[in-house]
Amino acid sequence: MSGGTADEGVATGETLMEVDGMSKYFQSEGGFLASLRGAADVKAVDDVTFDIKKGETLALVGESGCGKSTLARTILQLHRPTEGSIRFKGTDLTDLSSREIRPLRQDMQMVFQDPHSSLNPRLKVGQIIEEPMKAHDMYDAAGRRERAEKLLESVGLEAAHYHRYPHEFSGGQRQRVNLARAFSTDPEIIMCDEPTSALDVSVQAQVLNVMKRLQDEFGVTYLFISHDMSVVRYVADRVAVMYLGHVAELAEKEALFENPKHPYTRALLDSIPVPDPRSTGERGTLAGDVPSPTNPPSGCRFRTRCPKLIQPGTYDVTREELADDAAGAALQSYDLDEPTWRNVIGFVRAVDRRSFTLENVEDSPDAVRAFLDERFFAGSTPSGEPADVIDDAARLLAEERWDEAADHLRTTFEEPSICAARRPAYVLEEDVEEERFVACHLYRDSETDSSH
């Protein structure tokens, strides 16, 4: 990789951006009335820390609403963060005024998803590419034109296309024009927000290849936002998986895909249909919906859907760490064996999601309990205190008091878990001298460094 022109000391592989404790909250409803009613903020990004290295492609992946676009936009100061700092080549961008940031935009460019609406239809392609150079007073007119023509060739178009209008180009070609425009100011970093999501697969491959080639040529850093794990596997060097405003896991691409640590990463990877009918292994399915970001779960935000939720008592938590309603429940260990615990959690979730019906069951507590035993606890029913709680739930269900049953079960079995009590953040040292970040308490004992 050959370096760009404006290196200013940051070598390839060194830290280009440092994001530290960054949060971005949005008001869920605007205005004074909303604040009177105490409308909660949407915690789009919540206390996120990581860095971006020069010349790499860091992918931000996750499902809609996970905060990946907000995170990227906040890093580039399109949104101002609610909290935290973002250091770009040593300068904290959050200290700067909008006016002070403007000249830095030369180094931070963007490419968006929709190739149809992101180009001004009244401008010629050449003018579109020159626009950012003009804004930053780069080169004279002849120099800009020369650079625009050169860039058209770099993205696989022709210099002669300088005089054409956007409507004369297909979606894939327009995305190449967008790339040429982004590269015109010779930026350090380009944020690409789902740059190929609107394109057909054959065209997507062309654009992805152009992006890779440009990176080799100019040594640029990509912050690549995508929901498509296959595309990420093709372009990324490192991957940050986001869930509901948190980074769940950040690792080198190969490590992440071949050995996903966070249960959410695993679930995400397992749910992709593999383009091969002979592919072995069942596709996994993650049940339930993403909770609302206005009132996200405490601790690990994935814990309401996590198949690996840790049993209360496995790790000590203090009374202060527990939510008020859970604090009364217990700071104790039930010591259920693994299959029984899985059954219990399956039952708690089923009640919470109302994924079963008691329509054909007699509405006596005993009948309900017998039904539950057969449906959820076949093989291993808990005894002792947990059994009493399930009896209580059966009684509530028999009276059709589902919400109370769900609350009772959650406060007993889920809320006292370390997963609900404490936000996980662990840095693991991998064999390959690479650090990896996993926000999951399962890795509590393998932590090597608690700097996060």
Partner 1 sequence: MSNETILEVDGLKTHFYTEQGVVRAVDGVSFDVREREIVGIVGESGAGKSVATTSILRLIEEPGQIVDGEITYRDLTIVGFEEQDDGTLTPREAMLSNREMRDQVRGNEIAIIFQDPMESLNPVYSVGHQVTEFIELNRELSGGDARQEAIDMLREVGIPEPENRFDDYPHEFSGGMRQRVLIAMALGCRPTLIIADEPTTALDVTVEGQILDLVKDLQTKYGTSFIWVTHDMGIVAEICDRVNVMYLGEIVEQGPVDDIFHDTKHPYTQKLLESIPRPDRTVTELDPIAGTMPSAINPPRACRFHTRCPDARVACTEVEPRFVAVGNDADGDGDEHEGEHNDHRTACIKYDDVGYWDSVPLEKVGDRDIQYVGDRS
**Ramachandran angles phi, psi of 16, nearest 5°:** -100, -40
122 interacts with partner 1 by CB under 8 A: no
What amino acid occupies position 269?
A: L
Q: Find the DSSP H helices in 85-160.
A: 98-101, 125-135, 141-154
206 interacts with partner 1 by CB under 8 A: yes
Q: Please state, in angstroms and as integers, the Cα–Cα distance from residue 201 to each residue in 170, 196, 212, 225, 370, following that order.
A: 14, 9, 16, 17, 52
Stretch that binds partner 1, among 19-27, 47-55, 124-132, 153-161 (CB under 8 A): 153-161
Q: Considering the complex, state which of residue 34 and residue 272 has its C-beta at the smaller distance from partner 1.
A: 272
39 interacts with partner 1 by CB under 8 A: no
Stretch that binds partner 1, among 41-49, 283-291, 362-370, 441-449 (CB under 8 A): 283-291
**CA pair distance 57, 256, nearest whole angstrom:** 14
Q: Could you tell me which residues come within 8 angstroms of residue 144 by beta carbon, excluding any fewer than 6 positions away?
A: 130, 133, 134, 138
What amino acid occupies position 255?
A: A
Q: Which of 120, 209, 383, 448 binds partner 1 (CB under 8 A)?
A: 209
| Count of residues in the chain | 452
117 interacts with partner 1 by CB under 8 A: no
Q: Considering the complex, state which of residue 303 and residue 422 has its C-beta at the smaller distance from partner 1.
A: 303
For residues 387-416, which are near partner 1 according to CB under 8 A? 402
Stretch that binds partner 1, among 9-17, 38-46, 261-269, 443-451 (CB under 8 A): 261-269
Q: Which of 39, 156, 162, 452 binds partner 1 (CB under 8 A)?
A: 156
Q: Could you tell me which residues come within 8 angstroms of residue 315 by beta carbon, excluding any fewer than 6 positions away?
A: 418, 441, 444
245 interacts with partner 1 by CB under 8 A: no
Sign (positive or negative) of CA dihedral 157, 162, 163, 165: positive
Q: Which of 137, 289, 320, 374 binds partner 1 (CB under 8 A)?
A: 289
**CA pair distance 123, 168, nearest whole angstrom:** 12
Q: Which of 253, 266, 410, 422 binds partner 1 (CB under 8 A)?
A: 253
Q: Which of 27, 35, 230, 364 binds partner 1 (CB under 8 A)?
A: 230
Q: Which of 257, 331, 342, 407 binds partner 1 (CB under 8 A)?
A: 257
Q: What is the side-by-side strand order in the sheet with 238-243?
A: 108-111, 189-193, 221-226, 57-61, 238-243, 246-252, 435-438, 426-429
Q: Which of 8, 254, 385, 434 binds partner 1 (CB under 8 A)?
A: 254
11 interacts with partner 1 by CB under 8 A: no
Q: Which of 251, 267, 300, 425 binds partner 1 (CB under 8 A)?
A: 267
Binding-site size, partner 1 (CB under 8 A): 54
DSSP 315-382: S---GGGS-HHHHTT-S------HHHHHHHHHHHHHHHHT-S--TTS-SSHHHHHHHHHHHH-SS---
Q: Which residues bind partner 1 (CB under 8 A)?
A: 63-64, 156-158, 167-173, 200-206, 208-209, 227-231, 233-234, 253-254, 257, 267-269, 271-279, 283-287, 289, 353-355, 357, 402
